[in-house]
Amino acid sequence: MPTDETVVQTAAEAAEGVIFSRMKRSAVDDYDVRVTFEDGVLEVDVYVEAPETDADEERVADDAALAARSAVDDLFDDA
């Protein structure tokens, strides 16, 4: 069984991976990935601000949150 810390780290890394696979780091003015895992409940909130890109910031943030949840699902499936 993964530790809470491992769950949070896995989710955060997956979310950041999506953000920076779609946008250059230099184009991102600000981003925030908030992950909590308490009592078996995962909460992921992602914010991206990159006004100089053509990418849909809201879509990237939503996809990053989905990737985070999926990565945690995979983590538990492997356990």
Q: Considering the entire predicted model, what is its pTM?
A: 0.93
Provide the CATH number for the domain around residue 18: 3.30.300.100
Name the average pLDDT for the chain.
96
pLDDT value at residue 14: 98
Q: What distance in Å separates the CA atoms of residue 67 and residue 10, rounded to the nearest whole number?
A: 10
**Structural domains of the chain, count:** 1
Residue 51, domain extent: 4-78
Residue found by looking up tokens 């995962």 in the block: 42
Least confident range from 15-19, 33-37, 51-55, 65-69: namely 51-55
pLDDT value at residue 13: 98
Helix locations, 1-79, DSSP H: 4-22, 57-78
| pLDDT higher than 90, residue 79 | no
